[in-house]
Amino acid sequence: MDEELAKTLKYLRMGGLLTHWDPYLDLARQQRWSHVRLLQYVFEEELKLKRDNARRIRLKRADIPELLEIQTFPFDRQPKLDRKKIFSLYDGFDYMTKPQNVIWMGPTGCGKTGLATGFLIQAINRGYTGRFVLFHALIQELFASVADHSEDKLLKRYLDYDCLLIDEIGYVEVEPVQVGLFFTLLHKRHRHKPTLITSNLGFSEWRSFLKNDHLAAALIDRLTENSHVINMKNCHSLRPKLSQEP
């Protein structure tokens, strides 16, 4: 490949062709492809490359702390978990196409975050945008937005994600203004886009940290209206136990 052609391919951002110029030509000769077939192949490979690059960018922007695929979840270590139900939701993909919320509830360390992350990653891999956020981090952002009057901008950012995963709801108490913004966010998303939620508390306990019975009841009502609830309260922790000194 001459220098001018290389510059042209760089300008056109055809990185696949630039990198695989000689292998593509060798393959075309071996397969006795016509010029048309070679061009088709080149464009198909460029499209695959661009789609994969876009997927990688979406994954990076999702801010997922650990890329946990559902295929690697240790279902054999959670015999009380309804594996069939989970894979039915995952494979059906209705949570994105309907859309529907999915809520995991259970004790700390039982695998809620890993399963929810698997659902989020699937959505991103299939072309949707997504975001992972811890509940306490989201609450802090909401509180800060009130101080600098950027509530609308912050809500819009979280509403724009096709799939939002809010992890560990219930670990921190929230102030009234935060409860209101949190309710607004989930209420608006509920109408158009799915939210994935994990919580160590049952719905009956949400009033304790939301500290607003009316909004807590309204929020639970919205979330459960078109949702799948995965009850993991009988599942045990998958985290290794710390050895105790004698």
Contact assessment for residue 199 and residue 169, using Cβ atoms and an 8 Å cutoff: yes
- Domains in the chain, ordered, with CATH? 3-61 (no CATH), 70-231 (3.40.50.300)
pLDDT score at 244: 42
How many alpha carbons lie under 13 Å from residue 81 in its C-beta half-sphere? 23
Question: What's the pLDDT tens digit per position in 115-149?
Answer: 999 999 999 999 999 999 999 999 999 989 988 99
Question: What's the pLDDT tens digit per position in 197-239?
Answer: 999 988 888 888 888 788 888 888 888 888 999 999 989 888 7
Which sign does the torsion angle of CA 48, 52, 53, 54 carry?
A: positive
Contact assessment for residue 54 and residue 128, using Cβ atoms and an 8 Å cutoff: no
- Residue 181: Cβ within 10 Å count: 23
Q: pTM to 2 decimals?
A: 0.87
The 8-class DSSP code of residue 245 comes to P
Q: Is the pLDDT of residue 10 over 90?
A: no
